[in-house]
Each structure stands twice: as structure tokens, then as C-alpha cells.
Structure 1
């Protein structure tokens, strides 16, 4: 059985998929008014730069989105001040805003409604000609719209696909109607955000247990499950005093994803590094010296590395260009084995992924479609003290961890005084907005004492004795 944990806090939505106590996938979304792939916005063209064939569009977020201008996109007549209905296809990164396209799509579990073409198309993974023929003869599409039949529809009754198509068209019609009356930039449709995306893409075949900590999310998942055919899913609303991830011992495992070194069973290891342009993964034999020959040692290390790399790409959401430096192999048969293992690991990946053959230098290149940011981007930020060459945990994420620690600490005892020892990195930021920080960690009704030192981690402790409180009285902040 697979488990899905959905934890929504004030500032962050986090979702984890776990199988046999091992985290397989992790998704995060900050509640910060940033556009997310799949969301549909009404925007206004603020500027057009002909030199790069690009329009910059105000969609009501902090940063303007950009749209490429080309005949194939049917947008060459755009001019400054035009209102544009479009869909986000790439989240903003760094100083670059989100990418938006003029056509829009409304995804469902079994099909996707699309405004960019007319007629019915099929997932490339659907090979049954009789199934395709049945769909083409039986489904009647509304005029001027396209429909993509998803892989999951192949084993369900046609009626289910038809009902979902009608449901999606009602949503599409409402979006178009709302856009006609909207006079300012803003979000029109989000389709459930990352929660909706996870439910549509991950609830396949297996039995699932879903835990949520929010009543609205519970209702959303409950309604979604009603539209599934033969769903084998149990849904539970978590109401414990501890936060959801701490109760199920997931918090530390998420923080472990900050490590760029992953050990292999054979004694070897891989190292994942991010550069400005790509992710680079290095494979090392490490302590794998038990095998009789060098060729066998290299093959075993590379095979285990290929399997682990595929898992880490999905888990950490590594995207864009990924370059893998396997240990050198001269045997073409062994290279094929490693390549097959890598492809096998990425077979169920919903992101569009292309794996290129070994180069002469034993490098493998992967191009993976960008869908959201990597997990490390949500947890870490550049360290100002070393000019950005190092990383530290984001204050926003550190705040979430502190809040969870306080919740756990106060689970059984009525704690009134709390000492927080933080790295001096955060001192100036906290002092600029102490009241907001206290609110964000859920300690408005507590007495909080903060000290700063040269530590990478953060320590939260209860002050239970009068002598302890006296020692820290000068550090009280509220």
C-alpha cells in the first residue's frame, strides 16, 4: 500500500508519497502568490520586446510572466495593453518570471480538455487500436475544443470518460465566461494546485491511504475520489496535536534531502550538485571493492547508481538538463544494461523525460521538462556570508520547523517559556519583524527567548525551572 500525506500550514503546502516506509516523492508549494504550472490567469500585456520575440504580462503576481511570440502560438498580433487569457507552464525561477502560453487546458484523471487544437488525441502510451477506434466513434466533442485521452482511461468504461469530459467542458466554459467579465489581472482557475496534480497523476492501480490535516483539503480529496472508477483509496482527516509530518516521522527525512551525497548498497555513492545551467551527478565506487574484477565492480556500482539516480530525480524533482558521470565502461553490453536500468526507473515519471545515449566520455544526458522547482529550492537559499557559494535553510522553512517543534513540545505539557537558539544568519531578519516571527511560529501566547550563535541547525527547548528562565530573561522578545 502507498501512503499520501498532505500537510497544509499557513505558508507551505507539503505532500509526501511513501511506500513501505520509504519516501518516493515529495511536493511543496509556498502560499506566496507565485504562479504555479497549470494555473489559468487573465493578464495584461505590459511590454513587448521584439528583439527576443517576447511579451511581458502582468498576471497579478509579484513578477510579470513572459510569453513567446510566434505564428505557431497565434499571438503575433499582441500589443501593449491587450488582455490575455493564458496558462502557466513554468514556475518562476530566480529573477525570471513564470512562463505563460495563450492556449489553456483543463486536466482530469482520464482526459484533458485543450484549446490549442480540435479533435481527439491519445497518450503515446495507448497502443490499442480498437480502443482508439471506439473512442473516436463514440465521443462527441463540443465544437472548437480538443481532447487528450490519458493512459488511465484505457481500462475504464467509456461512460466514465464521457462524464469527465462533460464535467471538464463545464469548467472550461465557466473560465471563458469569467474571463470575459474580468477587467484586471488575476487568477481564474487553479484546478487544485499541487494537490489536484498529485491526485490526478499518482492514484494509479495501487491501494492508497491518504492523510490530510485540513478540513478543506479533506473535502477536496473526498469530492475528487467520487469521480474515480473503482478507487481503492482510504481517506483520513488527521486531528492530532502534533503536526502530521512529525507524527509520522517524515520531518527529518525531508531535511535529509539537503545532503548531496547518497550511499549505495554496494558501498559506492553518488553526488548531486546544482550549477547555474544544470544538475551534475557523479558516480563513485567508494568502498565497493568486494568483487573479483574491475569490470564487475564498475558494472554493479553503475547499475545501483542508475537505479538510485532515477529515484532521486523524481524524489527531488530535478529538472532541466541533468548530466550523469558514470564510472568509465568499455563494454557496450554493460552500457546497455545501465541505460536500461535508468530508463526503467524513469518509466513511470509523468514529466516528459528524454535520455540520450552514452557519450564517448561515458556521460549520460537527460532532458526533463521543468514542472515546479526542485525540493532544495523550497528548503534552502544562498548563504550571504560566503557570497552564495554555500546554502542555508530558508527562514520561512526554519519557521515551519520551529512551529512544529513547539506544537510537539506542548502536546502533553502546558509549556509557557520557550528558548530558541538560532544561527546568527537569521538575527537581522527576525529583529526586523519579531512580531510576525512570533506569530508564524504559533507562540503568541508563550514567552519566547531567542539567542543567536554560530550553529547550522536550530535548537528549541522548554524552560521549566525558574533558574533557567532567570538565565535567559535578557533574551526575551515578546
Structure 2
């Protein structure tokens, strides 16, 4: 598999695209005025403890207070009553929030989910700090290995190596990342030493900093892309900014020298995203309908509660029989769904309505295809079997806004409904409002201001109805078109 990472930098926006076999698979965006805060560590102050919600709102210096649930709060518990010095830090899922926090208390917290919509950021007190090969868990002593490292001998080697090295750096816990597979002990040791230095700074700032201040900020988007997205099959990382390229060269030279040869400064005449067709893919990623090569298509609807994906055969008629046509469409759709989830960064609950299949083996193969296609997804996914209604339910971890919510806003005309009232509906609303206004207030005549389409309909197709209404009310009614009015907007003015 061929894979490239493209980094496009402009003064107020940075975008990172992951290209696999010539197709855009992921897009990450960071804007100067709205940089994500996931991974940042703050010294917060508890604003209010909410016993009924088993949670607390914590001020960390963001626009809105952040949310901290009791299950995400940890506290020291002695392993031996006679030896309080041997404390370990554990979560207490059954503890009441009032036992864990109090109003006005200072607490070190980390953001695990960006503010989304009207909701504030989601917090945890269980801090984790990522690096190239590991994630440091300073309040734990557990060593875990990524499930994507499948070789049992390699898993055992890494776990033993990290456990031994951990004893030399405070006995902290670590999660060994996929990138660590095959790395020598020296590289792992350097990574752990770097994490130890970072944690010492964070711990000191946590003690000394003022409440509502940041004490650790995650790397910039280009540096995070280098740290998190580069895998063995990544051929090149192309950057279109000389300044960012120089920064990444210094970053790579310091933390991951073997990757230096993968960095490349893009100097082409055409914009880098145009050259690789990324801009067109971004435009298509905002459409509800996704065409399939077979002639079928997906319809993707994102709502506040969940995302639904409907699979349709469209113009695909197949060559054998209906069941075979449906099976082939669903197989293609399963791969397309996995790509769209990554590309659009859709998270939370996802319901996929595949076309009904009678053969249980076909269902099994479609589900297996979906699961296999999701293995390259960086976000955690959980897929469940077909429900009695033939639906596939799954979840995908959401930490930032979806691509649509980052790049779009609700339509001012329909308010995000996806449809607007017809001119006929608005016309009869106007007639009712005229009647209501005349009964409530005294006026010699009335002026109705509305959109040109609505006024055209009233004066042309509803002229007889207007004459009847004037006679019924005993009032003169005038209509004025205004280009500034949306189709559903109107005003009835008493003169």
C-alpha cells in the first residue's frame, strides 16, 4: 500500500491530508483562532459540583466551563494501611462526586474531547502524555501494548523492555504504540527519557501555576501528524511551507532521526491539495450522497444524536440475480463506509442500513469486510452484529468536531432542517397573520414585506384570494418584495 501525508500551511490555517493509494482517507484541520485543545493539561478550579449528574463543571480558562464526570476522577488510595507512602492512584467508579471533589477545589485535568456544539470540553484527571512510541500514564503502573501489534513474540519483548525501563524512570505506566513495533531498545529508552522530562515539567507547573491556566499544550498539527500518523508504509511527507518544513526537520532530527528522509518540501506551481485532488475530495465529503463505482450510493445523515448511513443499489443491476447484486453492493458499501467515517471524522453512534440480505454467509462477509476496512482507522471503533431489523450498529470514538461541522454551518434559510417551507405554505401563513393582526390592532391598511418568490406567488396565483381577504377584512393590503428576505421570512406592517 502506498501512503503519503500532505501538509498545507497558510497564515491562519493548517491542513493535513492522509493519502492511501491515491485516495484521500483523512483530513485534519487546525485554524489559528480555533485550535483544538484535546491533550492539553490545565490547572482547573471546580466551579460547581453536580451530585445529580455525578459530575462537576471545571473552569480551565476556556470559553465555557468543562465537564468532569466522577468516573474520570482518580485519587490516591493506600495499597497498605500501614504504609501510606506506597500509594497508588486508582479510579473509583462507585464513588460519589461529592466524595471526590468540592466547589472551589484546584485540580489538574486533561482535555479528552473538544467543545462540540453547545457542550463544553470533556475532562479527565488521569493524565496521559504521548510520544512517538509510547503514551506515558504517570498515575498508573500498568504497561499495555497496542492490539495492532499482532506478533506475540514482539508484544512480549516490548512489554518486558518497557517494564524494565519503567523501573528506572519512576515506575510509571505506559501504553506501547503501534509505531514501536520492531524498534530497538535504545529508541524506546530515548522515548521514555523524553517523556520523563516532560512529566517533570508538567508536575512542577501543576504545583506552581495559577488556577485556570494551561500547564501543558500538545504539539502543533504538523508535528502531531509526524508523531501520530507516520507508519512504516508512509512513503513521503510533503510540506508546502519552507518555514514549517524547517521546523519539522528540526523536530524529526531531535526525536525521530530515521524519518528525516521521508520529509520533502513541495515547491510545485500548483497548490499541493489541487495537485493531488484533495480539494475536490473535500467538496464531495460535504455531500450527503456518496456514489459507489458499481452504480449504487450511500446517503449519510449526521444528526446530534447519531449518524445514519443508508445503502442503495441505484443503477447497479448485477449480472446474475438480485441476492448477488445486493451482496456485491453491500461489500463495496462496507469499504466505502469505513473510508467516509475516517474522512468525515464521524463519531458517536452510527447506524448502517445495508440492503437486506437473505444469506447469513453474505451478512457475515459484509460485516467482516467492514471490520477489516476499519483496522486502519486511528479512532477506536466497535462494530456489532446485524440487528433483527438488518441494521449494523457501531460506535466510533469522537474527540473533535466532524469535518462537516468544522467547515459548515446551519443553512440560514432552513436553520439546518435540510428543507424550507414552500411558497404556498408561506402564503397561507401570511394570510393568517394578516387576519390575526387586524383583529388585534386598528389600521387603515396593511403592508406585507416578503421574499420576491412569495410576493410573486401571492400577486399572480393568489390575487383572487387577496381580493376576497380585503373584502372580508375591509382593509387594503399591499405587498412589497425584498431581496433580503429569505423564503420563510415576512413582516406584516400596520399603516
TM-score category by the smaller chain?
0.7 to 0.9
TM-fit CA distance, 1:220: 4.0
Alignment of 1:14-413 (within 5 A): 14-33=15-34, 35-70=36-71, 73-74=74-75, 76-126=99-149, 127-128=152-153, 130-131=156-157, 132-137=159-164, 139-143=166-170, 145-214=172-241, 217-226=244-253, 227-228=255-256, 230-231=258-259, 233-238=261-266, 244-246=272-274, 248-390=276-418
Give how far 1:133 is off.
Answer: 3.4
**Which SS does the other structure have where 1:81 is aligned?**
coil
* Alpha-carbon distance in structure 1 between the residues aligned to 2:270 and 2:485: 29
Structure with larger Rg: 2
- Runs of 5+ unmatched residues, structure 1: 392-451, 456-478
Pick closer, same or farther for the CA change 1:254–1:298 going to 2, 3 Å.
same
Report the Cα offset of residue 93 of structure 1: 1.0
Whether the aligned pair in 1 keeps the contact of 2:252 and 2:259 (CA below 8 Å) is yes
Question: What corresponds to 1:440 in structure 2?
Answer: none
Determine helix, strand or coil for the equivalent of 1:48. strand
CA 1:453–1:72 in 2, change beyond 3 Å: closer, same or farther? closer
- TM-score normalised to structure 1 length: 0.76
Do the aligned partners of 1:156 and 1:229 also contact (CA within 8 Å) in 2? no
Give me the whole-angstrom Cα distance separating, in 2, the residues matched to 1:125 and 1:207: 17
Q: Which moved more, 1:44-53 or 1:313-322?
A: 44-53
Q: 1:370 to 1:141 in 2, by over 3 A?
A: farther
Deviations 1:226-257 (A, max 9, x none): 33364374323446786543455432321221
Q: How many residues align?
A: 395
Asked if the contact 2:30/2:36 (under 8 Å) is kept, the reply is no
Task: Render the CA deviation track for 1:102-138: whole Å, top value 9, x for unaligned.
Answer: 1211101211111331142222334336413344345
Q: Which moved more, 1:351-360 or 1:73-82?
A: 73-82
**Equivalent residue number for residue 83 of structure 2:** none
Report the alpha carbon displacement of residue 387 of structure 1 after superposing the two structures with TM.
2.6
* Distance of aligned partners of 1:385 and 1:373 in 2 relative to their CA distance in 1, 3 Å threshold: same
Q: TM-score, normalised by structure 2?
A: 0.74
Q: Quick one: distance in 2 between partners of 1:308 and 1:122?
A: 29
Tell me: CA distance 1:327–1:97, structure 2 relative to 1, closer, same or farther (3 Å): same
Distance 1:104 1:263 in 2: 42
Change (3 A) 1:193 1:322: farther
Segment drifting more, 375-384 vs 239-248:
239-248
Contact 1:272 1:282 in 2 (8 A): yes
Aligned partners of 1:33, 1:257: CA distance in 2, in Å? 21
Q: Secondary structure at the match of 1:356?
A: strand
Distance apart, 1:214 and its partner CA: 4.0
Aligned-partner Cα distance in 2 for 1:34–1:65: 16
Cα 1:306–1:160 change in 2 (3 A) is: same
Q: 1:59 to 1:72 in 2, by over 3 A?
A: closer
Unaligned runs of at least 5 residues, structure 2: 76-96, 420-482, 487-495
DSSP 3-state at the match of 1:231? helix
